[in-house]
Amino acid sequence: MGKALEGVRVLDMTHVQSGPSSTQLLAWLGADVIKLEAPGQGDITRSQLRDIPGVDSLYFTMLNANKRSITLNMKHPEGKEIFTKLVSGVDILVENFGPGVVERFGFPWERLQEINPGLVYASIKGFGPGRYADFKAYEVIAQAMGGAMSTTGFEDGPPTATGAQIGDSGTGIHLVAGILAALYQRTRTGRGQRVQVAMQDAVLNLCRVKLRDQQRLAHGPLGEYPNENFGDAVPRSGNASGGGQPGWAVRCAPGGPNDYIYVIIQPVGWKPICDLIGRPELAEDPAWSTPQARLHKLDKAFALIEEWTERHTKQEVMERLNACNVPCGPVLSTAELIEDETLAALGSVVEVDHPERGPFKTVGNPIKLSDSTVEIERSPLLGEHTEQVLGELGFTEQGIGDLRAAGVI
């Protein structure tokens, strides 16, 4: 059946995480992604957080699967000529440099349009136009300025970053949506366009329920939150769901750092929970039997549940609660996830062999298409495909040798 994006070519000028997470998804979906890197060093993450000396780090290999790599000196006049040829033959150009870097190479959007009117030019920046436009951004800066940190953590603790990379990879996923929309629109117009996603905007989009609650505060305290005091902003509320169905993480046996399970109390779930924990009388007690009655003593409700869960492992609790149709999920550590047989069978965690570092595990493609299967391939070595790609542009072996000698590639 082929791949969903078969025939689509991407010139990938991204680095670190936000951009590579986006282009890796495009590669998984079948696009030919050509990663353009500086000669000698390449993407800085090749050497960051190394666990094995002298080889590409897991940071790099887990964000650059299924791509080809070429090296090109963008400051060299001949490098600029090669870049122009590359741009003329691709569908998508993706970059996440700081503001103005591509322009300083001599390729503003207007010039790129001249080279390739059908080009979809996609960029990730920390912030949109305006006050913050020239500021640098990293993962947790985006979380801080997008609403995540102020609403994550416990009421008596500091603002807290989430372990999920919503600032970087979250923005990358948003960019993929924009790229695919622009490609689809091009089928009708024949024209390419700019696609821009700011990290702050992406995090804010993921925090929309907190803006919902910010406006609800105008009408009084938020009853679904466990907090006693409410100021002029949505507070940190620990593990409370903050939604229509209350939830909390309760401790399980044997009491290790991740021996917890998250339990949701739906209205229909209260009776089976009461039966399970040995307190069937609470299902009929007017002081406990309705969501409204429980709303202001959810801490006590979950304490009752925890008295039972502490006597069982999180896997045992999961099995017994699910048997009663009570939503729950054990807190799975990274050690558990990487060895999870179900995730391996689904292709959510896969093992990949690498010519220098050997086999390692990485995440698989979370997007499952019925007619476009995905095989996770290793990341490229630095410049591994330079000769191949230049050959596709018409360069001879002698010409490629001359470019290498001149420091162009």
The answer to whether the annotation marks 343 as part of a ligand binding site is no
Give the burial class of 345: count Cβ atoms within 10 A of its Cβ; 0-12 exposed, 13-18 middle, 19 or more buried: exposed
Q: What is the percent of the chain where pLDDT is above 70?
A: 100
- Three-state DSSP at 355 gives coil
Q: Which helix (H) or strand (E) holds 68?
A: strand 67-71
Task: Say if residue 230 carries a ligand binding annotation.
Answer: no
pLDDT in tens, 318-373: 999 999 999 999 999 999 999 999 999 999 999 999 999 999 999 999 999 999 99
C-alpha to C-alpha distance for 316 and 337, rounded to whole angstroms: 17
314 assigned to a ligand binding site: no
**Residue 143, marked binder:** no
**Residue 243 marked in a binding site:** yes
Tell me which residues are annotated as active site.
168
Please write the tens of the pLDDT for every residue from 243-257: 889 999 999 999 999
Residue 40 confidence class, pLDDT cut points 50, 70, 90: very high
Mean pLDDT to the nearest integer, 67-85: 97
Per-residue pLDDT of 175-227, as tens digits, reads 999 999 999 999 999 999 999 999 999 999 999 999 999 999 999 999 889 99
Q: Is the pLDDT of residue 404 over 80?
A: yes
Percentage of the chain beyond pLDDT 90 is 96
Helix axes 169-189, 199-206, angle to 10 degrees: 100
Res 331: pLDDT: 98
Q: Which pLDDT value is given to residue 192?
A: 98
- 114 marked among binding-site residues: no
Pull the structure tokens for residue 353: 């062999």
Nearest-CA neighbor of 379 among 43, 49, 94?
43
3-state secondary structure 220-247: CCCCCCCCCCCCCCCCCCCCCCCCCCCE
Is 2's pLDDT higher than 90? no
pLDDT at 305 over 90: yes
Q: Which residues, at least 6 apart from 271, have a Cβ–Cβ distance to it below 8 Å? A: 280, 283
Comparing CA positions, the residue from 128, 89, 84 lying closest to residue 106 is 84
Question: According to the model, what pLDDT value does residue 155 have?
Answer: 94
User: pLDDT band at residue 268, thresholds of 50, 70 and 90?
Assistant: very high
Q: Token pair for residue 78?
A: 């001949």
> Was 139 annotated as part of a binding site?
yes
DSSP 380: P
Q: For the segment 79-97, what is each residue's pLDDT rounded down to a tens digit?
A: 999 999 999 999 999 999 9
**Average of per-residue pLDDT across 120-135:** 96
What sign has the CA pseudo-torsion 142, 42, 97, 70?
negative
Q: What are phi and psi of 379, to 5 degrees?
A: -70, 155
**For residue 242, what pLDDT band results from cuts at 50, 70 and 90?**
confident
β-strand partners of 302: none
Three-class secondary structure of residue 392 per DSSP: helix
Q: Which residue has the tokens 């495909």?
A: 385
Write out the H or E segment, with its range, that includes residue 194.
strand 194-198
- The answer to the question of whether 72 is labelled as a binding residue is yes
As a whole number, the mean pLDDT across the chain is 97
Q: Which tokens sit at 108?
A: 């503003």
Is 315 labelled as part of a ligand binding site? no
Segment 393-400 mean pLDDT = 97
pLDDT of residue 243: 81
The two three-digit tokens of residue 44, written as one number: 């800085």
Rounded Cα distance, 346 and 374, in Å: 12
**What are φ and ψ of residue 358, in 5° steps?**
85, -165
**Amino acid letter, 108:** P
137 annotated as ligand-binding = yes
224 in a labelled binding site: no
What's the whole-number mean pLDDT along residues 148-159? Answer: 97
* pLDDT of 241: 84
The radius of gyration of the chain from alpha carbons, rounded to an integer in Å, stands at 26
Known binding residue 289? Answer is no
